[in-house]
A and B are shown apart, each in its own frame.
Chain A
């Protein structure tokens, strides 16, 4: 537990009468890249703010490097807040130099580093422009630069790709990967599941104020059945205790295995039940699938009891095929 960069246990956060985080615990180890996932409003930003001392937690321990975060401790932190913003009426280079100095660099080093960074992100000609003369994506690049100044050992990025075009998203991912190679621990909030699969070592899924799933991507995938069966068929797929139907169209369906049965047995069952199977492939369940499965029923206007298994408009099942929520 000692080398955990981030340690959160028993965290609870109430805003007035509303409980946003009920009971949350997780660790982020030094050097890993950690995906912090959850639907809108699930409390990701709140957790990060509480970790950084911006919010006062209702209860719980939130530590960075073994103690509550304070800027004056000198932990090298790079934080990209969800609410972006820098001094709008100042020159880009002045803002970057200022923050560089606040982060402990000397003026010359901060300036040189900033100019090199601006060059790298194709903003070299904007160094002397006022920040508000830049486009919103360009401002984001400046903000990312400020975030990674002075080689942070812990990077906390709240939706870093928000507002970037695909080219710049790639650039940003490269920059984050570079920080990671340089030894930084990265905690990132994102709604882009491919990014998580590509970059993250471990993830946590936040739901209803606690951890819905927590572990390596493999572990999380396995928890949600691990594999998805995609079949092209004709006939009717019968209900079964061994699998759940994730998606059902006229001649195509996606199933997920809900017990210890193996795929071959399911194929045999289907054929025995008179289904004509034209193709049968299995793939690992994607994080996107898991995300949809975990949060997919949240936006329904229907207020029926969540345990009542029911088919969503696009054919997904909810309730009965949900993995019991045992947290982390």
Chain B
């Protein structure tokens, strides 16, 4: 019966959240914004990429002066640029509109800036002038070197392949770091997205006086556990929606998104680190959720509960202060504290797991701390909810809740007996 009720609670809580319009407005806003941003990036990339070609079809008229002597008449002709009499004449020509741009190549372009003057065409278009000046100079230098191979190398475009070893075994480098760090991203995503909902998850029962009805119908543990699991499912659903534009983009427009430009090494999924990462994620999520639910159970209104949000949020960002130490010296005291203090443990341990500086024993301890802490918090949340529900309007003291909690002993059907 209890298991059946747990399923019923999860179903009810999940369905009633995801069938609300508000939920979808909030959830879909993120990928829509992401799509817009990607769109803008894509558009501006297109404009810069085609700048040089656009110039070749002589869309704007260029004049230049060259004190370095690098640009030959041939190079200039390729860009349909005409020499100007003097820098002053060049600038005046731009101002009067006889040319669109004037490039002033200095005597030592390797140390002095090339000055570019142009008619204002708006932010995106203005970028073309510089790109064309750059292209002109590069072309001139290439001609001077007179060897495509040398000019490629001179441009610093040599390909480098690094192989590192852990003992005699080849280690994966960045490729092994990224996959386990995905759990960290998911953790942050879940907590940031759901913290408010976690805090308020029992508020509705309290504000609408549903608690008495609920407390006499099902075990409070079932209710709270059901809510936590439903929240987790809701969070995962949101993550899927959020990442869908990227996944769709990668599947259907792999070229346009040019993900290869990120130059990711092949990802290596180390099963041990992935398992550890997953367990830390689940344990950390459970701990944070039960803690937030417990806080919410004590607070009579959303406003008062909100004050605690800041503290919890700070706790998940604080470990980043020590991120450099985690890589260089994982045994520093501060790293150890962050690793084992339950509320900073998930982020710290996920980072260290990603960097490969968390050994199995440490991982086991952290996971045990997280799950143990979550269990304790669940019990506390349940009791606070039971007692918080009665005094609908005032705060419950934790002492009262813990003392009263002995009323429902874990074992069987203990009767309520006289105290004396």
Interface residues of chain A, those whose CB is within 8 Å of chain B, are: 10, 49, 52-63, 67-74, 77, 79, 81, 83-90, 94, 98-99, 101-104, 143, 146
Contacts and interface: CB of A to CB of B under 8 A. Distances in A.
B415 A67 contact: yes
A308 to B, nearest CB: 35
Given A84-B209, A94-B16, A54 B216 contact: yes
B217 A72 contact: no
Given A53-B408, A61-B418, A102-B5, 9 more contacts: A10-B418, A56-B404, A59-B419, A61-B416, A72-B2, A72-B218, A86-B213, A94-B12, A99-B217
A79 B216 contact: yes
B146 interface: no
A102 B209 contact: no
Contacts of B271: none
Contacts of B208: 85-88
Contact of B8 (A72, A73, A101, A146): A101
A104 B1 contact: yes
Q: By DSSP majority rule, is chain B's interface helix, strand, loop, or mixed?
A: loop
15 contacts: A54-B212, A56-B404, A59-B420, A68-B415, A71-B215, A71-B216, A71-B218, A71-B219, A72-B2, A72-B218, A72-B219, A74-B1, A83-B212, A85-B213, A98-B12
Most buried by A among B2, B208, B413, B416: B416
A54 B416 CA distance: 12
For the complex of A and B, 6 pairs with smallest distance between CB atoms: A85-B209, A81-B212, A59-B418, A68-B416, A83-B209, A85-B208
Contacts, number: 102
Nearest to A146: B213
Interface string B200-214: 000010001111110
Nearest to B212: A81
Contact of B210 (A56, A86, A103): A86
Contacts of A101: 5, 8
B414 interface: yes
B54 to A, nearest CB: 56
Contact of A67 (B389, B404, B413): B413
A11 to B, nearest CB: 9
Contacts of B390: 49, 54-55
A94 B392 CA distance: 25
B407 interface: yes
B210 A85 contact: yes
B216 to A, nearest CB: 5
B164 interface: no
A92 to B, nearest CB: 13
Contacts of B20: 89
Contacts of B416: 53, 57, 60-63, 68
B213 A72 contact: no
A54 B216 CA distance: 8
A79 B213 contact: yes
Contacts of A10: 418
Interface of B: 1-2, 5, 8-9, 12, 16, 20, 204, 208-213, 215-219, 386, 389-390, 392, 404, 407-408, 413-420
Contacts of A72: 1-2, 218-219
Contacts of B415: 61, 63, 67-68
Given A52-B216, A56-B404, A68 B414 contact: yes
Contact of B213 (A58, A69, A99): A99
Contacts of B8: 98, 101-102
Contacts of A62: 416
Given A59-B419, A88-B208, A70 B413 contact: yes
A54 B213 contact: no
B213 A68 contact: no
A142 to B, nearest CB: 11
A50 to B, nearest CB: 8
A309 B414 CA distance: 48
A61 B8 CA distance: 33
A231 to B, nearest CB: 49
A145 B32 CA distance: 44
B204 A87 contact: yes
Contacts of A99: 213, 217
A102 B217 contact: yes
A102 B210 contact: no
Most buried by B among A49, A74, A102: A102
Contacts of B389: 54
A176 B54 CA distance: 85
A70 B408 CA distance: 9
Nearest to B217: A102
A58 B417 CA distance: 9
Contacts of B216: 52-54, 69, 71, 77, 79, 81
Contacts of B392: 83
B215 A54 contact: yes
Contacts of A103: 217
Given A83-B392, A84-B209, A58 B419 contact: yes
B126 to A, nearest CB: 52
A87 B211 CA distance: 10
A83 B420 CA distance: 32
Contacts of B418: 10, 59-61
A73 B417 contact: no
Contacts of B213: 79, 81, 85-86, 99, 143, 146
B407 A102 contact: no
A262 to B, nearest CB: 45
A96 B142 CA distance: 79
Nearest to A69: B216
